[in-house]
């Protein structure tokens, strides 16, 4: 992923926290049918090195049949993004741009075709996304027959992360006054995504 040095984030703890907070990814692979992509949630584990990702695909999704263990794959994680109008800047003239936050995780694919590990993965992903609720829904609430049917319809996978690219393009190349102007402009818009981006910029730059 091309990233200007202004916008490159290299702190591993910041990158991995971003993945944890934005787990819905695009899995990109290349096989006999060319490029394929699937949108799906993943879990991150810091298992030494740069960590690992895990997830599952519908068995009916042919993408997994066209890649082999050890193949290089790409997972793309996106955060808030927005068009930025020149009116947000105090110094004119300027031009429109786009602010965004994204991580590319390149790694080595491994199919997980094991019932015990698949159940463990489902428990973890449910527990992760149910956490914080007053009455979290547990996977154990499913009866055995329903769970077996679910397992029959999915395939699990793991990705050993080999390289992480992170681009946080959030006005680092602008003056302090213009950064504040962009945040205030985003916060004044009606879009929840713009509000989220404003919040992330405040957090990143340490603005209260």
* pTM score of the predicted model: 0.93
pLDDT of residue 194: 98
**Mean pLDDT across 20-24:** 97
What is the domain partition of the chain in residue ranges? Answer: 12-203
- Two structure tokens written together for 34: 């060319």
pLDDT of residue 169: 98
**Mean pLDDT across 194-206:** 97
| pLDDT tops 80 at residue 91 | no
pLDDT of residue 157: 97
Report the chain's mean pLDDT, rounded to a whole number.
94
Q: Which residues contact 14 (CB under 8 A, 6 or more apart)?
A: 166
Beta strand residue intervals within 2-71, DSSP E = 24-31, 34-41, 43-45, 52-58
Question: How many percent of the chain have pLDDT more than 90?
Answer: 87
User: What pLDDT, in 10s, does the model give residues 35-52?
Assistant: 999 999 999 998 777 899
**Mean pLDDT across 59-75:** 97
Superfamily of domain 12-203: Electron Transport, Fmn-binding Protein; Chain A (2.30.110.10)
User: What pLDDT, in 10s, does the model give residues 123-150?
Assistant: 999 999 999 888 899 899 899 999 999 9
- Two structure tokens written together for 156: 């699990």
User: What pLDDT, in 10s, does the model give residues 53-63?
Assistant: 999 999 999 99
**Mean pLDDT across 1-10:** 94
- How far, CA to CA in Å, does 160 sit from each of 74, 149, 150, 179? 11, 28, 25, 37
- Residue pair 139/123 in contact (Cβ under 8 Å)? The answer is yes
Residue 182: Cβ within 10 Å count: 23
pLDDT of residue 46: 86
- How far, CA to CA in Å, does 77 sit from each of 3, 28, 132? 15, 11, 22
The residues that bridge with 84 in the sheet, in sequence order, are 97
């Amino acid at each position: 992923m091309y990233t200007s040095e202004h916008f490159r984030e290299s702190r591993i703890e910041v990158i991995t926290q971003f993945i944890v907070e934005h787990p819905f990814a695009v899995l990109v692979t290349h096989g006999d049918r060319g490029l394929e992509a699937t949108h799906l949630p993943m879990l991150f584990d810091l298992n030494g090195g740069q960590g690992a990702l895990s997830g599952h695909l519908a068995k009916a999704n042919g993408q997994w049949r066209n890649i082999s263990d050890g193949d290089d794959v790409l997972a793309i994680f996106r955060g808030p993004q927005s068009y930025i109008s020149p009116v947000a800047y105090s110094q004119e003239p300027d031009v429109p741009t786009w602010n965004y936050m994204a991580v590319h995780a390149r790694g080595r694919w491994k199919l997980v075709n094991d019932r015990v590990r698949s159940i463990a993965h489902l428990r973890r992903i449910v527990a992760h996304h149910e956490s914080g609720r007053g009455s979290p829904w547990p996977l154990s609430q499913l009866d055995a027959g329903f769970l077996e049917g679910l397992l029959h319809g999915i395939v699990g996978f793991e990705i050993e992360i080999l390289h992480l690219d992170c681009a946080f393009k959030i006005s680092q190349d602008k003056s302090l006054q213009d950064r504040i102007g962009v945040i205030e402009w985003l916060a004044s818009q009606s879009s929840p995504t713009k509000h989220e981006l404003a919040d992330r910029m405040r957090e990143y730059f340490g603005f209260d």
